[in-house]
Copies of this chain bind each other. A is one copy, B any other.
Amino acid sequence: MTDETVQTMTGAEALVSTLADHGVKACFANPGTSEMHLVTALDHEPRIKSVLCLFEGVATGAADGHARVTGDPAMTLLHLGAGYLNGGANIHNARRAWTPMINVIGDHAVPHQRYDAPLTSDITGMAGPNSNWIKSADKVSTAGELAAEAWEASFGPVPGPVSLVLPADTAWLEGGRPGKARTRPSLRKPDDARIDAAAKAVKSASKPVIIINGTALTEAGLAQAARVKAAGVRVLTDTFFPRQARGAGRFIPDRMQYFAEGAMSDLGGADLMLIAGTQVPVAFFAYPGKPSLLLPEGCTPMVLGGPETDSAALLEALADALGVKKEVTDVAPLETPGMPSGDLNAMTVGASISRHMPEGAFVSDDGVSNGLPSFLMTQRARPHDWMMLTGGAIGQGMPLALGASLAAPDRKTLCISGDGAGMYTNQALWSMARESANVVNVIFVNHSYRILNIELARTGAGNPGPVAQDLLGLGHPEIDWVKLSEAQGVPAVNATNAEEFDTALERAFAADGPQLIAAHVPAR
């Protein structure tokens, strides 16, 4: 690039082109006045696909989904502190999924910031807690360099969201310079001494288990997990994980149970808990008189490596140290159920999904209390990848599916979502329609925050009176998901029994572009 070119580059152009130079391919955006020069820069950057989202929570969830599919960070474009807040819950979820993500947050021009205009807010204060890295490009000469730094920082040591604040004057002024090329940081490799110690501990344990997440859940990682299991170690994944390769030809690990009492009973007797690519498991919520740490009495935890580690490599090294042969035979056969019939419920939905989900599909699971049967019934379905809500902030399902689908447009993405979860970010449907995203949305319509009815009982908060029932119920009025979907350009149908759903799902997978099925399942 000649000096002349550099002279005519705005800060916005320096930022955008630097991210494109580093392989960023998508920007999920909801711009405002302070981001107009970023919009213009994106207009001139053919390497980045810009996708308008009608709510920032859709943008951040989509960036997460895009990155889970590609492994590279996507960019978001958010309008000052208020735009950040709107996108914040799905940034929280992305942080919990260790997803690299570059949130570009527009701000007032630097000289304007001191006047406390209506949209002024403490962006770094609010965005800091969920940012692996956060800086403001207060001088145009720094915009490109900070973009490169942000990209690098999104990889960690533990990958996650970063925040790059771009004041409007930095965006509009000329004098931007591309940031110098960075190399992509790698996940940490196994520590030999720790692997040897773990292998010894396994040999002397009576009931060893290993909890895995991260690269251990890729197809290659799971092959190594199968070898570890062959040495007598029970393999469990975290309850929630960013992505797991599943279905025919892949090893089937167990999965940590969600409820603490179930998990503790399931782990009962374990005397060694190895950890690979995650942390010692913790109950999702605390309950009166129940444990927080999901570590049975007398069980020794041993961390081989946290989320900053290449856990697939950890498993391979451990299997080698345990002397397990390289060949893996413990993989799922292809096995799909027959056509379900009768009542529609989480089980029959799961059966249809297992029957019809095409090879190579991505699943975005925000199914809350109805997701588990679909998960279990697809263990031996055609090969696919399953993506979970990792941070517990519901409303991620459809945005994540949008982003995943745009990253893999030739494959099918299935979104399963509770109706309560789906309402949070229903605007994702519009972006799916606009982009002709190949997403099949299955909404479990039970007119209830059903999980909360379960939790109300478990927390011992007492029998729900009318006010409590009202606070947990989505009836009165019942939401018409078909209309809600069609209103935003996504064809939709109702399904009220197993046969109807099975037919609708088969058709939806065969169709081009987004589809929605409102699956009417019982509330109890």
Show the binding face of A for B, using Cβ within 8 Å: 29, 31-34, 36-37, 39-40, 42-44, 50, 52, 54-55, 57, 81-83, 85-86, 88-89, 91-93, 96, 108-109, 111-112, 115-119, 121-122, 125-126, 128-130, 168-169, 172, 240, 279, 282-286, 288, 292-293, 390-393, 395, 420, 423-424, 426-427, 430, 433-434, 451-452, 455-456, 459-462, 464-468, 470-474, 476-484, 486-489
Q: Please name the residue on chain B nearest to A172 by beta carbon.
A: B288
With A82-B392, A88-B88, A424-B427 given, name 10 new contacts (CB 8 A): A33-B452, A39-B461, A42-B467, A43-B467, A81-B92, A82-B393, A85-B85, A85-B88, A430-B477, A433-B477
- Given A88-B82, A88-B126, A477-B430, residue A282 in contact with residue B117 (CB < 8 A): yes
Contact B465–A43 (Cβ < 8 Å) = yes
Contact A423 B55, CB 8 Å, known A172-B459, A471-B31, A487-B487: yes
Task: Determine if A466 and B43 form an interchain contact, defined as CB atoms under 8 angstroms apart.
Answer: yes
Give chain B residues whose Cβ lies under 8 Å from the Cβ of A468: 39-40, 42-43
Q: Are B172 and A283 in contact (CB under 8 A)?
A: no
Q: With A and B bound together, what is the CA distance between A121 and B93 in angstroms? A: 11
A37 CB contacts on chain B under 8 angstroms: 459, 461
B121 close to A129 (CB less than 8 A): yes
Contacts of A433 in B (CB 8 A): 477
- Contact partner of A484 (CB less than 8 A), chosen from B50, B88, B119, B488, is B488
Q: Is the CB of B118 within 8 A of A96?
A: yes
Cβ of A486: which chain B residues have Cβ within 8 Å of it? 480, 483
- Bound CA span A393–B33, Å: 12
Q: Which residue of B lies closest to A483 (CB)?
A: B487
Closest 3 CB pairs between A and B?
A477-B489, A85-B88, A82-B393
Q: Given A33-B455, A82-B391, A420-B54, verify A115-B42 contact (CB < 8 Å).
A: no
Which residues in B have their C-beta under 8 angstroms from that of A293?
A: 115
CB-CB under 8 A from A52, the residues of chain B are 470-471, 473
Nearest CB on B from A225, distance (A): 22
B residues within 8 A CB of A111?
A: 286, 292
Out of B40, B86, B118, B470, name the residue touching A284 (CB < 8 Å): B118
Which residues of chain B are near A109, meaning CB under 8 Å?
286
Most buried by B among A40, A91, A93: A40
- A423 to B488 CA separation, bound complex (whole angstroms): 10
The reply to whether A86 and B484 contact each other, CB–CB distance below 8 Å, is no
Contacts of A130 in B (CB 8 A): 121, 126
User: Shortest CB–CB separation between residue A350 and chain B, in angstroms?
Assistant: 24
Nearest B residue to A128, CB-CB:
B125
CA distance A423 to B476 in the complex (A): 22
Q: Contact between A117 and B283 (Cβ–Cβ < 8 Å)?
A: yes
Q: How far is the CA of A476 from the CA of B52 in the complex (A)?
A: 11
When distances are taken between beta carbons in the complex, the residues of chain B under 8 Å from A32 are: 452, 455
Once bound together, how far apart are the Cα atoms of A424 and B82, in whole Å?
A: 12
B292→A112 contact, CB < 8 A: yes
The distance in angstroms between the C-alpha atoms of A108 and B430, with both chains bound, is 35
Given contacts A117-B284, A286-B109, A391-B118, contact A424 B461 (CB under 8 A): no
User: Closest chain B residue to A44 by CB distance?
Assistant: B465
CB distance from A170 to the nearest CB of B (A): 12
A40 touches B462 (CB 8 A): yes
Shortest Cβ distance from A13 into chain B, in angstroms?
Answer: 11
Q: Contacts of A395 on B, CB cut-off 8 Å?
A: 55, 86
Q: Which residues of B contact A481 (CB under 8 A)?
A: 487
Contact partner of A112 (CB less than 8 A), chosen from B81, B168, B285, is B285
Chain B residue contacts of A420, Cβ below 8 A: 54
Decide: B108 and A285 in contact? CB cutoff 8 A.
Answer: yes
What residues on B are CB-neighbors of A472 within 8 Å?
31, 39
Residue pair A455, B57 in contact (C-beta under 8 Å)? no
Residues of chain B within 8 A of A288, CB atoms compared: 169, 172
Q: List 8 A-B contacts (CB under 8 A).
A: A31-B452, A33-B284, A33-B459, A40-B464, A54-B423, A115-B293, A430-B477, A483-B483
**B115 and A33 within 8 A (CB):** no
Q: A121 contacts B108, CB within 8 Å?
A: no
Could you say which residues of chain B place their CB within 8 Å of the CB of A93? 82
Q: How far is the CB of A332 from chain B (nearest CB, A)?
A: 27
Complex: how many Å from CA A122 to CA B126?
10
Report B-chain residues with C-beta under 8 Å of the C-beta of A473.
Answer: 52
The reply to whether A434 and B476 form a contact with Cβ atoms under 8 Å apart is yes
**Which B residues touch A464, using CB under 8 A?**
39-40, 43
Beyond A117-B285, A172-B460, A427-B423, whether A452 also contacts B484 by CB under 8 A is no
Output the residue of A129, A283, A456, A461 with the most chain B CB within 10 A: A461
